[in-house]
Structure 1
């Protein structure tokens, strides 16, 4: 049984540099990195010291707030460096990898014959629990809670995002094991959203409810799908899991190994050959960026998509949750009278001296220039044009800025995550950091309300 979701509000940002449907094995990364900042509101407590030998799956650290939530090594090797910042906060863990991985054996498990608590304990022990996030607050899920439903988006609409129909092909066994396990952790349903066109690996799998989605970005955002299927109200919790993370969970259940393998889409107008690479969580992006080749030297490398990803150096490492690496030109030049002439080579929702609306299928080569500077909020009504959730985006942003908890609750803060405001940030004429504002608002609610 499926239920269609049709999104009308939004904006497709069509960029040059889409990945070809070919997969290559990325060269083995010499070092792998884990950044605790990828796990929001987690304070790490180390269980090993520098120089310790590791197998793939060995616990490196756990959450100070909940010792059951463990974080595992993606490879076998030696922990060579623990980077610390201000107040000795751990900023990065560097692992020098061995040529071949050896795996810690957690034992094969059949989720169909397991109790919910046994499944939870298995995922927690092996370090797979961080793949499960919760709303409200968009943080790692509390293992002591029970969600009313679990949501997975198998349909990506972000600019140049990895195509799940392609990256998950042939992984049906692992997907089914993970979905069966997750179905036992909720009193409700496991909702999986797929594209209306195309053939998804999720179709035909058991223990899930399929929803076919169509429409412009952010139709593929799990937050939009939650809002259309089963919105989050005060006192309720839902869990979300990224589609590729299901494969790692399923691999654990079917083989007993924590296999942090991931298929990455290397995309963007600044790479010579945009295609897919098989690598691992935390790998050096240079291993596949240089394998593909760069069109120019002055580039911005982003771990993630252009709307929600984080800037890293060419010698940086892949983020824990990312399955896309985007390389685009650096926008460090300025146009003379750029604000006062017709614009043909940029995307805009406005029709004032801009013409992208005349060419809806045209692909653009955009750089990182913000085309303006930070200024006070201007009420234009544009946010609502690209925001499909039943929420007032400008009002909720202002409530977060003034830290009005009552207004934030009333306006629907329990439903949102920073990524839901990526498009409003993109079109904002005031150049306000919408995602940062929402993240700070969610952190305040988590601290004050819990």
Structure 2
């Protein structure tokens, strides 16, 4: 039996370029990369050297702070290059793929016949553990911890986000197997949040408590769902995992190999043919973005992820470890005189009524990267509270994160939030502050001081 959750606060940003529900195979990438920067608070320790051959699923590096957490190659081939930045920090591990597709064999297993500890060890050994993240702090889960619950959000509300039900089509067996395994990692409940209007196999998954969610963005954020279902208190741990990664874990148990296949939505107003591509984790972006027909690439902002939380990339960069969406929108290097006046030029989307967007609720807009203003003093306007569907005082929490006040951060709910929960504040706040970056810094302070 499902439970309904209705979110009222928030804001849906309807943009042009939504991916059509058409699936194509992306052209094969010759180079793949695993980026330690995708794993916050992980310090990589290399296992393989440049020039060595690797198999698909072979360990490339592990976490300095927990040698149980391993990171594996998405393909077989040769480790071509270790790209380093300042202070020899590892930025990318690039692998040149071959045509052999030789994979490390772990042997297929039935999770219903295994204990929770056996399942944990199997996932750790295979390199699938980084798919499991924890709240608080929004980092890879510590395998030593015992989570009070596990959450899977199969409801996407971010602008241009991939349709999860479409992406999981024909993956019912792998998803159910993944759920069977994951549910044994906690003595508490495993929660699955789905679209209230959806009609897919997700309604009938076993070993989970199903929640039918409705409402504007960020209703699909797992942090918002945790807040309304089973809030986090000091000292507690909750693990979260993306639906696409549940499938990868399920395939691990079914086949005994690490399968990094990923279906992504290539979307945005700068894409001529926005649609879905089947590719692999770490594939080079140029393999699918040019096939989709990016228009005027020199004047386009390419984003690994959605337009609110993704990272700016170039075509020769690589698909992120957790990404299921790739966005491309016009670069905001043009300025409109008296742009705040709604009747001058093309109308723009805005939460405020200085724009006429509120009159056209179903219209899709072509957004660019213009801030339409500059950073200014942080003043009380009530804008943040309108898009924060949690019992959190966002402005006060942001201020205490900037001040590094640990006690007040705890009292204001720092354990319940992640940077993505403040993405709409980045968009809606007229102060133009980088709220996500501030919250990330606050969480890092908590990791260092509280643990």
Range class of TM-score, shorter chain = over 0.9
Change (3 A) 1:346 1:165: same
Give structure 1 stretches of 5+ with no counterpart.
Answer: none
Pairs within 5 Å for 1:279-358? 279-297=279-297, 298-340=299-341, 342=343, 345-351=347-353, 353-358=354-359
Which residue does 2:89 correspond to in 1? 89
CA distance in 2, matches of 1:74, 1:279: 11
CA distance in 1, matches of 2:200, 2:34: 31
Which residue does 1:146 correspond to in 2? 146
Normalising by structure 1, we get a TM-score of 0.98
Pairs within 5 Å for 1:403-442? 403-442=404-443
Given that 1:134 and 1:239 are in contact with CA atoms closer than 8 Å, whether structure 2 keeps it comes out as yes
Which residue does 1:240 correspond to in 2? 240
CA distance in 2, matches of 1:200, 1:103: 32
Given that 1:231 and 1:415 are in contact with CA atoms closer than 8 Å, whether structure 2 keeps it comes out as yes
Which residue does 1:261 correspond to in 2? 261
Given that 1:158 and 1:305 are in contact with CA atoms closer than 8 Å, whether structure 2 keeps it comes out as yes
Change (3 A) 1:235 1:253: same
Residue deviations 1:17-56, cap 9 Å, x none?
0111110000100100111010000000001100111111
Which residue does 1:71 correspond to in 2? 71
CA distance in 1, matches of 2:152, 2:95: 31
Pairs within 5 Å for 1:361-440? 361-440=362-441
Stretch of structure 1 that moved more, 48-57 or 98-107: 98-107
CA distance in 2, matches of 1:100, 1:386: 49
Determine if the alignment matches structure 1 residue 110 to structure 2 residue 110. yes
1:397 match: secondary structure:
helix
1:224 match: secondary structure:
helix
Which residue does 1:230 correspond to in 2? 230
Q: CA deviation at 1:292?
A: 1.4
Residue deviations 1:168-187, cap 9 Å, x none?
01111111111111111111
Pairs within 5 Å for 1:108-187? 108-187=108-187
Q: Please, what is the CA RMSD of the aligned residues?
A: 1.0
- Structure 1's consecutive aligned runs of 4 or more residues displaced over 4 angstroms after TM superposition are none
Given that 1:70 and 1:129 are in contact with CA atoms closer than 8 Å, whether structure 2 keeps it comes out as yes
Q: CA deviation at 1:316?
A: 1.4
Normalising by structure 2, we get a TM-score of 0.98
Given that 1:270 and 1:299 are in contact with CA atoms closer than 8 Å, whether structure 2 keeps it comes out as yes
Residue deviations 1:206-246, cap 9 Å, x none?
10010000010001000000001000011111000011011
Given that 2:341 and 2:355 are in contact with CA atoms closer than 8 Å, whether structure 1 keeps it comes out as no
CA distance in 1, matches of 2:27, 2:265: 15
CA distance in 2, matches of 1:75, 1:199: 35
Change (3 A) 1:107 1:301: same
Residue deviations 1:66-117, cap 9 Å, x none?
0000001011111000011111111111111112411110111111011111
Given that 1:28 and 1:99 are in contact with CA atoms closer than 8 Å, whether structure 2 keeps it comes out as no
CA distance in 2, matches of 1:181, 1:281: 22
1:50 match: secondary structure:
coil
Give structure 2 stretches of 5+ with no counterpart.
Answer: none
Q: CA deviation at 1:345?
A: 2.2
Given that 2:340 and 2:355 are in contact with CA atoms closer than 8 Å, whether structure 1 keeps it comes out as no
Given that 2:349 and 2:357 are in contact with CA atoms closer than 8 Å, whether structure 1 keeps it comes out as yes
2:204 match: secondary structure:
coil
Report how many residues are paired.
Answer: 449
Given that 2:46 and 2:60 are in contact with CA atoms closer than 8 Å, whether structure 1 keeps it comes out as yes
Q: CA deviation at 1:340?
A: 4.8
Given that 1:265 and 1:276 are in contact with CA atoms closer than 8 Å, whether structure 2 keeps it comes out as yes
CA distance in 1, matches of 2:36, 2:106: 24
Which residue does 2:447 correspond to in 1? 446
Given that 2:342 and 2:356 are in contact with CA atoms closer than 8 Å, whether structure 1 keeps it comes out as no
Q: CA deviation at 1:201?
A: 2.9
CA distance in 1, matches of 2:34, 2:168: 24
Q: CA deviation at 1:397?
A: 0.5
